[in-house]
Structure 1
């Protein structure tokens, strides 16, 4: 039983970047904006739609990218960001399943 709790604790630590990325409303707005624009958007366009500065948008995109929610494609001299949400969502599902399994054993 103790080993299972240690594994779950490690899972939580592994998911910190994903959970951290989801705690900010600006990042929610970026995710939703990219969901509506499947071909990708550059930083300037994202900044125009959510009323943030380019540096602020870049920061949020970096956090989202590190957590696996977005990636970018280089087009000419600009990066176009696209949503790549499947992997972090699958990881969250695994975490939830692990917690549910542990709770049902109690």
Structure 2
């Protein structure tokens, strides 16, 4: 296995860790879908809390995790903040990670003769 390739894949994996953390919580997963469902204009905390049994502070906490990981982007409109999903570039990084891992696994299988 190429050591440089291994380190690059590990670096990409570390870049994806905030995404894995953000995706790992069922409430954040639901918030992502609620924000997607809101469409291009996005949705504010008040409307998100109306769709959930979570408190506004809990929703704000989850939105901060999603924002810090780059999954959502806040957009200020007047005195309100609307959240929009911005995953496209993050999926490119995830795709790169998965492809790198699959190539590494293929090389291991080829080396030990188990590749079908």
TM-score normalized with structure 2 length: 0.85
Match of 1:28 in 2: 29
Work out the CA distance in 1 between the residues paired with 2:67 and 2:60: 10
Work out the CA distance in 2 between the residues paired with 1:5 and 1:67: 24
SS in 1 for 2:60: helix
Match of 2:10 in 1: 9
Work out the CA distance in 2 between the residues paired with 1:103 and 1:62: 35
> Equivalent residues in 2 for 1:19-98 (5 A)?
19-38=20-39, 39-98=41-100
Q: Tell me the C-alpha RMSD between the 2 structures.
A: 1.1
Number of corresponding residues: 106
- Which consecutive aligned stretches of 4+ in structure 1 deviate over 6 angstroms post-superposition? none
Query: Can you list the C-alpha shifts for 1:18-64, whole angstroms capped at 9, x where unaligned?
Result: 11110000011011111111121111111110211111111111111
- Deviation of 1:3 after TM superposition, in Å, equals 2.4
Work out the CA distance in 1 between the residues paired with 2:14 and 2:87: 19
Work out the CA distance in 2 between the residues paired with 1:102 and 1:23: 25
SS in 1 for 2:51: helix
Runs of 5+ unmatched residues, structure 1: none
Work out the CA distance in 2 between the residues paired with 1:16 and 1:87: 15
TM-score normalized with structure 1 length: 0.93
Runs of 5+ unmatched residues, structure 2: 109-116
